[in-house]
Structure formats: C-alpha cells, structure tokens
Chain A
Amino acid sequence: MPTITVDGEDYEVEAGQNLLSICLSRGIDLPYFCWHPAMGSVGACRQCAVIEYEDDEDQQGRLVMSCMTEARDGARYSVDAQTAREFRGGIIENLMINHPHDCPVCEEGGECHLQDMTEMTGHTLRRYRGPKRTHRNQYLGPFINHEMNRCIACYRCTRFYRDYAGGTDLEALGRNNQIYFGRREDGRLLSGFSGNLVEVCPTGVFTDKTFSRHYVRKWDQQMAPSVCEHCGVGCNTAPAARQPGSPGDPWLRRVTNLYKRDINGYFLCDRGRFGYEYANSPARLTQVMERDNIELIGSSSGGGALSHRQIAPADGVEAFARHLEDHGTGKHLLLGVGSPRSSLENNFALRTLTGAEQFYAGVSAVDLQLLQLVNSIQCDERIRSATTPEVEQADAILILGEDIDNTAARIALAVRQAAQNQRRRQAEKLKIPDWQDAALRQLPAAPVPIVFAGCEIPALADCCSDHVIGTPDALVSFGEAVLEAIGASRGGTDQGDTLTDTGDSPLSRDYLQLARDTARALVDAERPLVISGCGAQHPGLLRTAGLIATALAEERDEPVNTYLSCPEVNSLGLLQILSSADQHLERAGSIMADARKRGIPVTLVVLENDLFRRLPQNQAQEILSSADTVIALDHLLNDTTRRAHLVFPTAATPEYQGTVINSSGRAQRHYCVYEGIGFIQESWRWLADAISASNLHSDTADLVRSWQHSDDVSAALAEALPVFAEIRRLMVSLRDNFNVARQSHRASGRTAISAERRVAEEPPPEDTDAPLSFTMEGVHDPAKTTLQAVIRAPGWTSNQSIHKYLQGLNGLRVERGAPTLLQRPQKPVPRWQSVELHACGNATNGSTTSGRLLAVPLHRLLGSGELSSSAEGIASAIEPPFAKLHPTDAAQRGIHHGEQLVLNLGETRRQLHARVDFEISPGVVGLPCGFPELADITVRLPVAVHIKPVTASDHTAGGDEP
C-alpha cells in the first residue's frame, strides 16, 4: 500500500486513488464542488487545491488540484499550507461574487454544501463591488424548482443528468460567467432521475418543489431510516417529517436518499423521491369506517362501492373481533388476502390470524407464478443475485423482456454505468485512472455488449449495443436462440455460427446472428449479467432468462449474476409466507364461491391491497361480493376499500417499523419516521387488537395477544418460518442501552408549534418498537448506529457529510454488518425448468389473420406505481392513457397518431389515445401498465385485443360499456 504524508501525518492509502477522495475518507476537511464520489473528478471548480512537494528538500511546493492528482507513494502534501488556504479562499470568493445573499429564504439553507464550504475556507468579507449577474429561471415541471442566480457553475447537474443518467433535456448553455444550466425551453425535466439534481446541486439552484409546499429546515426534520416502497429494488431513503405547524401541513415533508452501497448508493429515481406524497393524499384513510349499506349511485368504479361512516376505533375493533369469533366457531370461513406492498410483519400477522391455509397472496395466478419463477431461479446454485455495484461492473448484459428503466429504475441507472466499462478498460491501458471522468468519457471504445430485448425501444437504448424489439413470443424465441448458441459453444465447436438456419425460425437472420453474438459476448465476458423480471407479465420470458443464466453458469463453471426484478417492495417476502404454491387470488375466489354455494358465511380480510389492480374488474368484484363481510386495512381510499364493510386506516411505510424483502432476497428494515395521524396504526396492530378484543383462546390467539412490539412479530415470524431466520439480525433490542434521536440537536420550536392552543408542551410520543426517540434526545452520531438517518458532521450540514461515515470512498457505511439475506435453500437441480407455465395470450400471428393485436403492458416510472400515482406531483405528471402501436398496424386499421381508438377486450371496451410510433414492435399494442384508468385491463396482459378507429357511434361512451 502506498504511504503519503499530509501535513506531517502519514497515511496508508489505496493505490491509484485521487488525493481528494483520500483526504475526505481520512477525515481531512478539504472543500470541493465539482467532484462527486459517484461521478469522479473533472477539475472544473479548482476548490480542492493543495500543495504537492517535489521531494523532501522542496519547501515551496506547487499548487495542485487534489481531485485531479493521483496520490504518489512517498509523496508529501499539505492541505494546511498558507498558499493553498489562500488560493481556496480566493476560489470561494470568486464563486460567491454572483451568489445571492438569500440564505434565509433559500430552501438549501442549513443543508447547503456551498454554505459549508464557504465556512470551511473562512471566506466572510465580500470585496467584489460590482453588480451580480442575474438569470431568468425556468419552469421545470412539478418536481424541481429552478433558481439559476444561485448557481456557482460546478457542472455537477449536467454531469449527473447527462453523463451519468443519460438525460438530454438539461444542458450547460452559453459561456463565460453567463453560463446557464437549464432546458432549451420551459418544461418538465424528462429524465426519471431528475430528483437527484436536488441532492447533486451543491446549492439551491435545483430544489424539491413538492417539499416547497410544506418546507421545513433540515435541522427541524425528524428522520429515521426507511425503505422506498415504490418498487422491488428497495432503495434506502430518509423520509423527513415534522409536526404540522398549520392546518394544511402534512407530517411527511419529503424523501431524500439514504446511502446504501449495495442498493442505491447516492441516487434515487423520481418515483421513489416524489412518490411519498401519497401518504399526504386527500384519499388517505385516517379513521375507522363502517359501511352505510347505501350503495353509491353512479360510482365511477362500477357496482358495489359503498358509502361509509366513521366509527370509534374500539367499535371497529369489536366488530372485527365478532367476525373472528364467528370464525372460531368453525361455521364461518375466514380468508386473508396479503399484500406484496406491506411488511412481512403485517402479512405474517394476517397469516397467523387466518391460519396458513386461508392466507392468500394478494396477487393473481400469473403474478404468483412469476414470483415463484424468480424465487426458484434465484435458489438455483448456479445463480447469484447481483448487487447494484455488481451490475455497474458487468461487462456483458442481456436484458430479456424487462423494461428496467420503468420497473427497477435504479438498476437501469447502474446498467448505464456498466456501459462505460470498455472505456474504463481503455483508460487502464492508457494509465488514466477511472475517476478522471471527463478524460474517460472522451475515450473511444467498443460498446459494452448490452443487449435489450423487449416490446418497446427502452430509454436505455442509447447505452445498449443492440436491441431486439418484438412480440413476447418473438423475444422468447430470441432468448432460446441465445440459449442454443450458448449450448453450441459448449459442444466444443468454437463458432456459434455452426448453428443451422432451418428456415422456419420466427427470427430473422439478423436476430439469429445477434443471438449468437450475444451468447458469445456473455460467454466471453468476465462479469456477465442477465436481467429479467416480472414486468412483461410473461412467465415464458422469465424462464428463458433463467435458462440462459444457468446455461451460462454451466459453460463458465461458476455462478452467474442475474437481476430479476420483482414488482413490489415485498413481493419476494410475501411469496415466502405462503403455505403453498397456489395461494393466489383466483383460488381464493373459487374457495369463496364454493363456500357460498354450501351456505357457509365468508369473512374476507384484505390487507393493504386493491384487488382491482390485481384482477380484471369483474373477478375482483366477484371475490368481494362473494364475501359476506369484507374487512379492508389500507392507506388510501381505493376500489377495494370503497367496497369493504369495515375499513381500518393503516400506517404507510414511513409511519411504521417493518421488514421487507427486495428483488435480490435482501431483508431490510424501515422504521417509523413519524406516527400516522388520526387512528392510523400498523395493520398487525389492528389485527392483534381484534384478537385481543375477541374471546378466542388458542395458541395462536395467545401468541398474537402477546405481541407488544414490532420485533415480537418479527421474532414469531423467524420462529415460524426458517427462511426468515436471519431477520433476527435486524432486530435491535429495546433493552439495549441507547436511544437514537430522530431529531437533530438544533430541532426548534417543539413547544411553540401548538402554542396558540396550549402553552404546555405536549409530551412526545414514545416508540414502542425501536430504540429511536421522537425528540432530540439520544444518539446523534451516524458513526455509532445506522439507525441514525440524520447525516451531518461538524462543518458538514449537507448530504455530502456522508463520506464521514463510510469505510473508504464509496464503501459500506460504518457499523453496517453483512447483508441480511433470505435463507432460501439452494438447489442444484431446480424444479422451475419444467413447471407448466400459465398461458399468455398468444396472438403473434394474429395481426394478419384475425385482425387482433397482442396487448402488452408498458411500464411507466410515473403512473405504473400504485401508491405513487396518488402522489400530487407524480399524479400531475402522468401521461394520459394511451395505446401505442406500430405504424404498419395502425395503417392497416386506419388509425392515426393522436386520434382516439377503441380497444375491445372481451366485454371490456375502452377509448384511448392512439400513439403511432416506430418504437414499438409490430403485432402488439402497448398499454400503460397500472395507470389508474387502465389497471383492470393491464392486469390481464398480455392478451389479444381488437382495436379500431373511433366511429361516430363510439363518441357517446368514453369508458366501459355495460
């Protein structure tokens, strides 16, 4: 290891690193702006200057930019030398000449890197006496504020937005000190990662617009570690809350990134950052409600919606308890429907309540099979689940059928970084370190083989070496051709092209060649990666991806990395709780129908789930109407809660402690950031309350009664199901001798917030689940515990302070142990290769014969997420529902771009905006998956549909016809 001397202190350092990152990771305070730990060095701001000495004799030294200087073994540097300090002071003085003195009204104030760095250099006196340059600000959409006058031109925004995240609609415009970072014209920033600008910008040019509506200073926020609930990646977040000061204020104020090396690193997607607003939505349930027995007339959601009235929570619990007692007599059937977007604890509590046999996954048969496929592929000995840094390091990637830009956006961002790997290799040859970002990006290099196969050209296309756009069946054929080519290379023949073209292949010669090239690239790569997932709703695609990965592993004689995307935050967790492989909603429906036939009353408990997003409308309605009583527990008013007889308001992810399993099988904890308003509490607590209020007495009832803390449920789960044994490691004992403060030392106004109502201070709530206080009392040091989500350090108030708490640059956070993984048994020969797959609508040739097209789901970051669609900002950015089809198919049917078309699917008929586009495969019509108006259709995809132009007679009906 090289040794360097900085201001007389010796340091052992990693070879090849730049001096700035070495200094920062050794706790040396050195100011910087343009450098970013994930984005490397470009040498633009000149803020991190230090003195480098030639040799031991050299007293003068010379000024170098530490971010651009590779630490040399035996070299001597000084951060403290007067010349260096004066120069750094001069740079900050230059940067500040145009910066407005608006810190008191700037939303960055108190967590501003520019403030921190200005303080650090000691610059206080303004010597510039000229006018400041001013800019016109732009409207950048519902998420981001723009205040260009604050800009210090560090270029981090465009480097992140363009170079790192592949965006195109934000750029550096103009030159000299008039340089402008913005769009060519006003409008929403179109990248799905735009929210990161808020954290990447070292000052207040880009700030969170959703946060502005209910802004509070960082030091006044209470925070706790959380996990993003908006997809299966499981990014770590730090939601921030504060007691409302005025009636319109919500508790939950914003979400920021919480560094987690192996999952999200420094960045979140926009769904994850701005989706939080669902918790503050007007549709939020806060009261216990009971049906009124009056059917709502003219409900937009079809029949069966009921009007409700508020009741006392105790009455609700009593009513719930009576239903449980009925069940206890054995004359009733009690069924539970779990949820992939709720915690293990909530699902397990319901499973305990109903008994494992009567606990059903809240997903359809196809969705369940997809999850089982993911699970069993991951359990294959030859398969590894890649972490995000491993995705970034891949040097050949096949993405089969999964539009990760929209289903697992953070992973797509990682794939983008992998696309630079040939350049990194090239740089290594030229002895250019990989943190020399600008140098790296100008190197020519062959593209990294990244092959995308899907129905629609993805946003990732610009960094893919090739893509295959086809119908799902064509994609399976492509996958099979890759598989065959891998097999052929194994047969000892060196050439993939010994494969014979039989002529009856559904693939063109080009695609066959591409399949061979892809196979070759995967076989030859050092770190190949196969990505697929549940997004296409096509088990065949997923299985083919699994087969490719295992064939590759056989070929290479080592496990192969995969990333298999699951749709929701706890999809994989829910799967493990099920007692058998067919506990899906359709089966629940038939059991209920059967019970009804036999005159057995049915009580259905639906946990945090909207069945109308899981099944076609008629099936969902049938299930709900075949229950005598529907008890729903959820966050929002939706089509299921509207039909329930009893509704309990439940805590949203930032409002409670729970454990979830991400797409890679990693168990993570989210903690209560603030307590939900009204009568909101955790679902498991409502369930335990109901048991406690009942007269039931059995081992399980007593077990549930004994649950006091969230960890009691976790422990019971770990006890009951060995697959969860490891989650005990996530449990932090309440008896441990420490408490972690959710609020900062500087939290202010606790006694003033309600002072107009009462003078006495309200006692803070107590967390019965975790050793976290709702006050400023307790441990603040993020180095002591990862439970501390308020990241700050002396002199560092901004999010940049995280480097103080990492083990080396971009390392693990200190105090963080090994990942907690599901203890799934690894199987040498998995069963998944031979299971019978659910048929998917097959209409590949249909477009010519029957005039039908295969409707396929198109995922959208903004709109396809269930909860995030209720977030105010995101809701305003969702595109109007559309049907996207290829110009050839459109022309055959006389459909024109921009006009309305009619889509017929069985008895369902929908008018949609036609989007005619070469970006989609012929033979399919893409529908935006899970969009509020289309959810009940998109759950059935892929399926063959008829489409035609709107005729005069269609104009009367905008939606379904009865």
Chain B
Amino acid sequence: MLINPLTKNIGADDTALDLGAYRNNDGYRGWLRALRMSPEKLIDLVQKAGLRGRGGAGFNTGFKWSFVPGDRQAQPVRYLVCNADEMEPGTFKDRLLMERDPHLLLEGMMIAAHAIGATTAYIFIRGEYHRAAKVLENAIGEAEQAGLLTPETTGWEQPLRIYLHRSSGNYICGEETALLNALEGKRAIPRAKPPYPQVSGLWGRPTVVNNVETLCNLPHLVTQGADWYRQLGRGEDGGTKLFGVSGKVNKPGLWELPMGTPVREVIENHAGGLRDGLTLRGFLPGGGSTDFLGPQHLDLPLDYDAVGKAGSRLGTGTITVLDEATCPVGLVLNLSRFFARESCGWCTPCRDGLPWVVHILQRIENGEGTMEDLELLREHTIRMAPGNTFCALAPGAAEPIQSALKLFEQDFVDHIRGKACPFH
C-alpha cells in the first residue's frame, strides 16, 4: 500500500521530476480520473476523505470548495489560486514539494480546478523561492506542451491556464484575501469577510485559495479513494503530512509521516533527538505563529484537534524546538520582530502593538525590563487576541508570546531581576 503519496517521487538526487518521469510513476492518473468524475462527486470525495488545509488553518478542503456557487452558467469565470507564499517562520515544506515534484502540485491544481470549475489558476509563490519558481515554470510549460490542459484532454470549452505569480515579498500575502489583493496589484491588506473568496474572490469572481501541500494531496486521494486516505492517518485526521523539525536537533529536516504521529516520534526518531545532550524545554508545533508546548506534550499526536486541545495549533506542522541553552526571550523577540515588520499596517493592535512588544522584549532581553513590562506584554496579547484584530496575523504573533509568558515566566523574571540575559 502506498504510504508516502506526497514524497514517493522525491529521491535523494536533489533534482525535479520532469513530466516524463512523473508520468512513468503513474503521474496524472488522478487528473484523468477526476475528469471522469462530476465536480460534485469530486468535492464529495475530498470532503469525505477529511483532507484539511495544510496552510495552517486546517479547514476541510472539500467543504471549502463546496461554498463555490454551483451554477456555472451564471458565473462562468472562477479562479483557483495556489498559495505558495510560504513565509511562516520555521516552515519549508511547500518548498520541497515545488522544487522536487512540481507536477504533483500541477496535477493537484488541475483536479481542484475541475472541482470548482476554474479555467484559470494562479500559483502565488514566495518571491525568494527562485528555484521553485523556475521548476514550476518549466513544469507548466511541459504540461501545456503535452496538451494536458487543452479542451481535447479536458473536454472543457476553454483550455485551463496556469500562471505563476512571484510575490514581491510580504508575510501577509499568505493570508488568502491579502494574497488576492496582491494578485490584483493592490495593497496586500486582508479583505473584509463576508464576502468570502468562494463567492467573491479574485477580481470579484468565485475563487478558491489552497495551500501547496493541500493540493499535492489530491492526485493520490483521487486515484486511491477516501477510505485509503483516511486509513493513512494514525489518529483522527486522515492522510499524511510533511512534518519538519528545526532547532538544535541532530538531524533537522522534513519527513512525510501519517497524521497523528506523536511529537516525540518526530523529534526523537526522525530528527534524531536534541544534540549535544541538550534537553528540550518546549516546542512550537507548527511554525512561528503557534503557541509553545512543553515536554509534557511530547506524546501528543500531531492531529489538528489534538494539538488544538493542548492549547496550540498544528499550523504548518513544522516544529521548532527550544532547548535549555537557548534564551526563550530572545526567541520570542526574534519572532516578534518578524511579525512587527510584516504587519500590513491596517489595524491598530497589530500595526502599533507589535513594534511596542518588540521594544519591550528588547528591553527585557537587554536587562532593562521591569515587572510591569510583563503585565504590559500580557495586555498586548489580549489586544491581539482573535477577533480583536482584523486578520489572523496578530493573533498568531501573540501565540508564542502568551505561551512563553506562561511556560517560561521564570526566564523573563530572571532577565528582569538579573538585569541581563542569563543565556549570554
């Protein structure tokens, strides 16, 4: 049984699979199969398989698609957008997929396009992903040349067009509505919802924005079926996922593992445990905008709901490990600096709150902090709580801060009392 659908084509030789090789490995079978299915059936299949958005929010993909208006005659223009603006700190999973197996993504996009009736698709790719962009551009050319997108293949009235758009660089573009604004050439600020993109998205047309990894799940899901997909998971969620570990571990990297794999297994078995005999103090389970979890959570299965219940988010599934020799204040400061810089400037708690948070953390790190500063930091995390800001950027930025204040409070106090960073 196929157990590594996302990475089965990715070998050790660090090259991208071309169309021929991809097809030899049963590539584009999902596409051809999907074409024989009605969009409704396809949506139903994906929904039943329980594929959840791999960009971080974990929303059921089929369910997301189902909000696109069904009447294609009334709204013939629809768009599919692939969110390849991978900028979450500590996250590098989409990059691997795009650089190594571009046709898997393209096939996934074609299937999604069929499901929602899109005849135009965009890949909005992070500006710094030069290699991935090149690989994808090449792959799009191959697919076009091979006639995979033509009406002869699809039986559609128009050919499917896939465009690659390279972002000019802004974390907020990962937020799907800010991404749509950026794609339209507008300021990258999140849009008001409703209307949701499925109803009024790119240029006001029905649009679905899906993450790279989400789309890469589709080809095999279609060929192997929902039951196979669900079985891949070890816990509640179906399928596999790319999990990564960064930090002071022996073998930082990325592995395709079943959903529900315990954290400990990822860190100890796959990443080889902490190096130099260091012990683990905590970890960010899914990127820079998730809450810290502690050593007591090492046996947590990496499922969306399980991690949520533990007080954090699965996010992108790329774990950042904090060890005993690394200053948690410094880590949080580093992250906050990133988020403050990347704030789009639209709403107050984020735009003016984050630079202030950075200022406070810097003072604490410099040994100039006061106990009142801790209270102020907590206030800021409340101001940036979900619903209090316009989009999810600031709540995400607040997550490592609020959890660090709980888990590593003593470190903050030591900085303040000792008037210096104890790690230096």
**A→B interface (CB under 8 Å):** 42-47, 49, 62-64, 68, 87, 90-91, 94-95, 97-98, 127-130, 133, 153, 155, 172, 174-179, 430-432, 436, 438-439, 442-445
Instruction: List 8 A-B residue pairs with CB atoms under 8 Å apart, sorted by A's residue number.
Output: A94-B348, A128-B356, A172-B187, A178-B345, A436-B192, A439-B194, A444-B200, A445-B204
Q: Which residues of A contact B188 (CB under 8 A)?
A: 175
Q: Which residues of A contact B389 (CB under 8 A)?
A: 46
B199 at interface, CB cutoff 8 A:
yes
B304–chain A nearest beta-carbon distance, Å: 23
Contact B345 A172 (CB under 8 A): yes
B7 at interface, CB cutoff 8 A:
no
| B181 nearest CB neighbor, chain A only | A442
Contact A430 to B383, CB < 8 A, known contacts A176-B344, A177-B355, A442-B204: no
**Cross-chain contact of B352 among A98, A129, A155 (Cβ < 8 A):** A98
**Cross-chain contact of A63 among B205, B359, B387 (Cβ < 8 A):** B387
A63 to B382, CA, bound (A): 11
Contact A176 B387 (CB under 8 A): no
For window 318-358 of B, CB contacts with A under 8 Å fall at: 340-349, 351-356
B310 at interface, CB cutoff 8 A:
no
7 closest residue pairs by CB, A with B: A444-B204, A179-B345, A94-B352, A130-B359, A439-B192, A176-B343, A438-B192
Q: Which residues of A contact B185 (CB under 8 A)?
A: none
Contact A179 to B352, CB < 8 A, known contacts A62-B387, A442-B204, A444-B203: no
- The 0/1 profile, CB within 8 Å of A marked 1, for residues 122-156 of chain B is 00000000000000000000000000000000000
Q: Which residues of B contact A90 (CB under 8 A)?
A: 349, 379-380, 382-383
| A179 nearest CB neighbor, chain B only | B345
A472 to B153, CA, bound (A): 56
A600–chain B nearest beta-carbon distance, Å: 73
A45 to B347, CA, bound (A): 5
B60 at interface, CB cutoff 8 A:
no
A442 to B188, CA, bound (A): 13
Q: Which residues of A contact B191 (CB under 8 A)?
A: 438-439, 442
B184–chain A nearest beta-carbon distance, Å: 9
For window 370-418 of B, CB contacts with A under 8 Å fall at: 372, 376, 379-380, 382-383, 387-390
B195 at interface, CB cutoff 8 A:
yes
Contact A176 B349 (CB under 8 A): no
For window 182-211 of B, CB contacts with A under 8 Å fall at: 187-188, 191-195, 199-200, 203-205
Contact A179 B351 (CB under 8 A): yes
Contact B390 A44 (CB under 8 A): yes
A445 to B203, CA, bound (A): 10
**Cross-chain contact of A443 among B195, B379, B387 (Cβ < 8 A):** B195
Q: Which residues of B contact A62 (CB under 8 A)?
A: 387
**B→A interface (CB under 8 Å):** 170, 172, 187-188, 191-195, 199-200, 203-205, 340-349, 351-356, 359, 363, 372, 376, 379-380, 382-383, 387-390
Contact A47 to B192, CB < 8 A, known contacts A63-B387, A87-B388, A176-B355: no
Contact B194 A46 (CB under 8 A): no
Contact B390 A94 (CB under 8 A): no
A95 to B193, CA, bound (A): 25
A45 to B350, CA, bound (A): 10
Contact A87 B195 (CB under 8 A): no
Q: Which residues of A contact B192 (CB under 8 A)?
A: 42-43, 68, 436, 438-439, 442
Q: Which residues of A contact B388 (CB under 8 A)?
A: 46, 49, 63, 87
A631–chain B nearest beta-carbon distance, Å: 61
A177 to B351, CA, bound (A): 5
| B342 nearest CB neighbor, chain A only | A176
Q: Which residues of A contact B349 (CB under 8 A)?
A: 46, 90-91, 94
| B383 nearest CB neighbor, chain A only | A90
Q: Which residues of B contact A63 (CB under 8 A)?
A: 387-388
Q: Which residues of B contact A133 (CB under 8 A)?
A: 355
**Cross-chain contact of B199 among A98, A172, A430 (Cβ < 8 A):** A430
Contact B351 A47 (CB under 8 A): no
A145–chain B nearest beta-carbon distance, Å: 23
A170–chain B nearest beta-carbon distance, Å: 13
| B186 nearest CB neighbor, chain A only | A442
Q: Which residues of A contact B379 (CB under 8 A)?
A: 90
Q: Which residues of A contact B194 (CB under 8 A)?
A: 430-432, 439
A439 to B354, CA, bound (A): 26
Contact A87 B200 (CB under 8 A): no
Contact B352 A46 (CB under 8 A): no
| B363 nearest CB neighbor, chain A only | A129
Q: Which residues of A contact B343 (CB under 8 A)?
A: 175-177
Question: Which of B195, B379, B389 has the most C-beta atoms of chain A within 10 angstroms of its own C-beta?
Answer: B195
A46-B347, A179-B345, A444-B203 are known contacts; what are 13 more A-B pairs with Cβ within 8 Å?
A42-B192, A45-B348, A46-B388, A49-B388, A64-B387, A87-B383, A90-B383, A130-B355, A172-B345, A176-B341, A176-B354, A442-B204, A443-B200
**Cross-chain contact of A130 among B200, B341, B356 (Cβ < 8 A):** B356
A97 to B195, CA, bound (A): 34
Q: Which residues of A contact B352 (CB under 8 A)?
A: 94-95, 97-98, 153, 177
Q: Which residues of B contact A444 (CB under 8 A)?
A: 200, 203-205
Question: Which of B204, B349, B351, B352 has the most C-beta atoms of chain A within 10 angstroms of its own C-beta?
Answer: B352
A517–chain B nearest beta-carbon distance, Å: 23
| A33 nearest CB neighbor, chain B only | B348
Q: Which residues of A contact B382 (CB under 8 A)?
A: 87, 90
Q: Which residues of B contact A45 (CB under 8 A)?
A: 347-348
Contact B390 A43 (CB under 8 A): yes
Q: Which residues of B contact A130 (CB under 8 A)?
A: 355-356, 359
A267–chain B nearest beta-carbon distance, Å: 24
Q: Which residues of A contact B204 (CB under 8 A)?
A: 442-445
A172 to B345, CA, bound (A): 10
**Cross-chain contact of B351 among A176, A430, A442 (Cβ < 8 A):** A176
Contact B345 A129 (CB under 8 A): no
Contact B383 A91 (CB under 8 A): yes
Contact B345 A97 (CB under 8 A): no
Contact A177 B387 (CB under 8 A): no
Q: Which residues of A contact B203 (CB under 8 A)?
A: 444
Contact A97 to B356, CB < 8 A, known contacts A46-B389, A63-B388, A177-B343: yes
| B362 nearest CB neighbor, chain A only | A130
| B370 nearest CB neighbor, chain A only | A129
Q: Which residues of B contact A87 (CB under 8 A)?
A: 382-383, 388
Contact B345 A176 (CB under 8 A): yes
A439 to B351, CA, bound (A): 21
Contact A44 B340 (CB under 8 A): no
**Cross-chain contact of B353 among A94, A129, A178 (Cβ < 8 A):** A94
A49 to B389, CA, bound (A): 11
**Cross-chain contact of A127 among B200, B355, B376, B390 (Cβ < 8 A):** B376
A178 to B345, CA, bound (A): 8
Q: Which residues of B contact A68 (CB under 8 A)?
A: 192
| A43 nearest CB neighbor, chain B only | B390
Q: Which residues of B contact A97 (CB under 8 A)?
A: 352, 355-356
| A154 nearest CB neighbor, chain B only | B348
Contact A174 to B345, CB < 8 A, known contacts A91-B383, A130-B356, A439-B194: yes
A437–chain B nearest beta-carbon distance, Å: 8
Q: Which residues of B contact A432 (CB under 8 A)?
A: 194-195
| B193 nearest CB neighbor, chain A only | A439
Q: Which residues of B contact A431 (CB under 8 A)?
A: 194
Contact A177 to B195, CB < 8 A, known contacts A127-B376, A442-B204, A443-B204: no
A129 to B388, CA, bound (A): 24
A821–chain B nearest beta-carbon distance, Å: 41
Contact B345 A177 (CB under 8 A): yes
Q: Which residues of A contact B342 (CB under 8 A)?
A: 175-176
Q: Which residues of A contact B355 (CB under 8 A)?
A: 97, 130, 133, 176-177
Q: Which residues of A contact B356 (CB under 8 A)?
A: 94, 97, 128, 130
Q: Which residues of A contact B353 (CB under 8 A)?
A: 94
B307–chain A nearest beta-carbon distance, Å: 24
A635 to B170, CA, bound (A): 58
A287 to B278, CA, bound (A): 94
Question: Which of B188, B341, B348, B389 has the most C-beta atoms of chain A within 10 angstroms of its own C-beta?
Answer: B348
